[in-house]
Structure 1
Amino acid sequence: MRRHGWSGDIPRDDDEAAARILDAARTAIDDGRSVTISTVAQSLGITRQTVYRYFPTQEALLGATALSSIDAFLDRLAAQLGTIDDPTEAVVEGIAYTLEQLTHDRYLRLVVEPGKASAFTAGVTSEVAIGFGRSILQRYDIDWAAAGFDGEKLDGLVEFMLRTLQSFIVDPGGPARQGDGLRAYLRDWVAPAVRARAETPGTPHR
């Protein structure tokens, strides 16, 4: 770690340095300011090159900031899920509830809204997006491997959820489906696909 800058208050190690960068980005987001490599560096008294060392792109910085700040959403999700133990219903509710929370959670929007500096800027299958999708599934009290989803198959389920979520964000429809209507649609069209994959655990991932 470079031993200069930081307005004279040098971090103890790289972990603290990265944490301070994320804190500065969160502060800017909470204040309604745009978050760029330059503004974060300036607020910390460091160079842009120092920020780039920990976050190679602005998208990576925003994605990491968002993922470090969505615990509140995941806690609400866990409360919403209750005792759901059916994998198909878990996917339906995970997609529906995430869509419903987008208008309330600025950090969630940074993770999933395409067309912005977000996890989806680099693609729905980016490491940040897949990590977010896995975080949703892990909030369920479900043994995914026992349900037929392990390894690449679980990754495929996460990708399927994210692609479905992205399609609703890009084109909500007119009028947009909400509440029971949204869940009924997902149960009609998404749940059968999840159920079919769960019932064929030996099917190779494509």
Structure 2
Amino acid sequence: MRTHGWAGSVPGDDAEAVQRIVEAAGELIEDGHSVNINRLARHVGVTRPTLYRYFPDSDAVLRAVAAAATADLLSGLSRALGGISDPVEAVVEGIAASFELLRANKRFALLFDPTGLSSTLQDVTSDVAITSGRAIIDNLGIDWRESGWADADLDGLVEFMLRMLQSLLIDPGDHAQSGEELRTFLHRWVAPSVAIGSRPVSK
């Protein structure tokens, strides 16, 4: 690792250097700035060649920022869904809470921004995204299988929730202007489908 630059505070190793770059990019995003190599280098206090030692381009930096924010998002969502035992309520609240968290977190919401990193829009329904979603709903206090949901059904449910979330982030419309309006909309149009999918297993 080079020992000059870094605004007079040199990181201890490459891992810290990467963390500093990702944090700096996140700060730019939160302040409403686009992230490009020139601006990021100035913000970090290094040269462009130094940045290129850690990231090949700005898209790679943005992916790292989104990845770093994922843990915070999942933690917040788990807290929001804690104590919910009804499948219908879990889906409605899961979509609504995710939407609210993502709108408040620009660092992660950039993943869904069609005017920004458009190449990552497909990531919303990637295997990684679905696996993360499954981890959340599997850890709720809901016996999904007792309610008639097989593994394939749950994967499909998570994909549906992610696609619904993606649509809301791209074009919120009038129904997402407040938490109450959004939940009313979801209860009207999404809840019935989930209720139909919940068929208690006969004993």
Q: TM-score, with normalisation over the residues of structure 1?
A: 0.66
Change (3 A) 1:167 1:200: farther
1:118-152 per-position Cα deviation (integer Å, ceiling 9, x unaligned): 785345324675466457546734465666353x5
In the TM superposition, 1:1-206 aligns within 5 A as 3-4=1-2, 7=5, 9=10, 11-13=12-14, 15-42=15-42, 43=44, 45=46, 47=49, 48-52=51-55, 58-69=58-69, 73-117=73-117, 120-126=120-126, 129-130=129-130, 133-134=133-134, 137=137, 140-142=140-142, 148-150=149-151, 153-174=153-174, 176=176, 178-197=178-197, 199=199
Q: Work out the CA distance in 2 between the residues paired with 1:129 and 1:36.
A: 26
| Root-mean-square deviation over aligned CA pairs | 3.9
Percent identity between matched residues is 40
Q: Secondary structure at the match of 2:55?
A: helix
Q: Is the 8 A contact 2:73 2:102 kept in 1?
A: no
1:19-60 per-position Cα deviation (integer Å, ceiling 9, x unaligned): 23312222333444332244334525352432335xxx5344
Change (3 A) 1:154 1:29: same
Which structure has the bigger radius of gyration? 2
Q: Work out the CA distance in 2 between the residues paired with 1:60 and 1:93.
A: 32
Q: Is the 8 A contact 1:63 1:119 kept in 2?
A: no
> What amino acid maps onto 2:52 in structure 1?
Q
Cα offset for 1:65?
Answer: 1.2
> What amino acid maps onto 2:124 in structure 1?
V
Q: TM-score, with normalisation over the residues of structure 2?
A: 0.67
Greater CA deviation, 107-116 or 124-133? 124-133
> What amino acid maps onto 1:7 in structure 2?
G
Q: Work out the CA distance in 1 between the residues paired with 2:128 and 2:39.
A: 23
Greater CA deviation, 22-31 or 37-46? 37-46
Q: Work out the CA distance in 2 between the residues paired with 1:142 and 1:6.
A: 54
Cα offset for 1:92?
Answer: 0.8
Gaps of 5+ in 1: 202-206
By percentage of residues, which structure has more helix? 2
